[in-house]
Structure 1
Amino acid sequence: MTVADSVGTEAVLYETTDAGVAVITLNRPDRLNSWGADISAGVYAGFDRAEADPDVRAIVLTGNGRGFCAGAYMGAMQDLGASINEDTDVSKIVGERHPHFLTELRKPVIAAINGACVGIGLTHALMCDVRFAAAGAKFATAFPRRGLIGEYGITWILPRLAGWGVSADLLLSGRTFFAEEAVALGLVKEVVAPEDLLARALEYAEDLARNCSPASMAVIKGQLYGDALDDVREVSGRAETLMHESMVRPDLVEGITAFFEKRPPNFPPLKEG
């Protein structure tokens, strides 16, 4: 892995691999990478950088230390709580973007959940496209236990991943659960040993980067999240149009040629727009 400059702040690190994967690492292990202005600024800069780089075809999001992201930084919350009123700008907690911006990126985002994944940290993880978790990693919505509500789109994404009954349990109780339950609920793809987590997430991401068309993945992401809001007839009709568009891209010829030649495909980079 090639280490690049940290983006915007040392609170977030940015690296790339030779296979075309960007790794964005939350780097405030002393506070379990709890979400604050420093981390939010670095995360946004990192994803913008990865999205704009044609050599990057997939993105991994992870954390240093024992936490992935243990919710909002309570120091900032304490300062906010001292002066909170009906006019308080709650955007100061999350930053300039809501977590669902991850679903609007054109490149796949893989979460490598190395530890505590709570509150807004859980919301960000669920907005990633695929999740891997370290054995024993702790999860919680935690909102009702802090006097809060389901924030920033978690009530949209969680039922789509785990169903209404599970979502009601996790959101209403705010209870702690572990990676082993998370995989059983369908919230993560795999649970792996902590020391193998990043390698496994990179293996998965690099397979996407090497063998999947960036254009196809971008369209499929739009289908996954956009189609969830639409009538099935509209979805099917739009898919037909998108299929026609995909068939005139050079990616199709390359994908079929590579299959018959029994070699890895060499897809072109994702175009702007």
Structure 2
Amino acid sequence: MKDLEHHLSEAVGDGQPRKFRPWKKILIIVEGVYSMEGSLCKLPEIVALKKKYKAYLYVDEAHSIGAIGSRGRGVVDYWNVDPNDIDIHMGTFTKSFGSVGGYIAGKKSLVDYIRVHSHSACYSSSMSAPIVYQIISALTIVTGRDGTNDGQKRIRQLSRNVHYFRRQLVDMGFIVYGNKDSPVIPVMLFIPAKIAAVNREMLKRGCAVVTVGFPATKITESRVRFCISASHTKEMLDHALRAFDEVGFLTGLQCSKRNPPRRLYELNPDKYLEEE
């Protein structure tokens, strides 16, 4: 936050480079859940800075909408922030909604401007009916408009799955990044040569995982990224944990200084279960 405030202060005080004319608009762009780090943006503090320096705020909820917050409405819901404080709200329908496309929400004047001036809106056809119906169906479940509490059940189940999986990885001695409530769980590999090794060994054990390296990350910060779903059962999570326990021991990934290396069989799984 200090660095962001420093840049905002410079932009307001110094203006544009070389000519030093004041900026007409200053835009703060953040992600709800950072896809490579699994961390959540500190939205209340960012909103406070936005108001202090009279900037605009653009929030990308691609990985948080439908997954974070007591009602599944993203980081705005998670931090209990007024949605009116967000000038441009963006998200995708490809993850929690299980469809394609995305959305931009904001004031009517902003949405009308995008519709007229955006090439993707002017020179493309509308979404097909099955895609739209899938989005509406998922949204109806999440918001509870289907007359059931199935959406709330899924959101709570996702939270339990995330905590169950993450806490065991941490206690086994892996270096795990991100917020404790984030459905994106990155485990650090560090050495680029381990990317292919971890991928192949996990696949041998029946788990397809996403490994990420340079240039998506720094060359010494390669990682494996687990994305947890409400549809994952305890048996599925246990299978993935057993496989990663073996692969992590084989490739030497348990290098946390906070938690000594332990094998999965040394942990008590009942300790990590949360009440429904």
TM over 0.5: no
More helix by share: 1
- Rg comparison, structure with higher value: 2
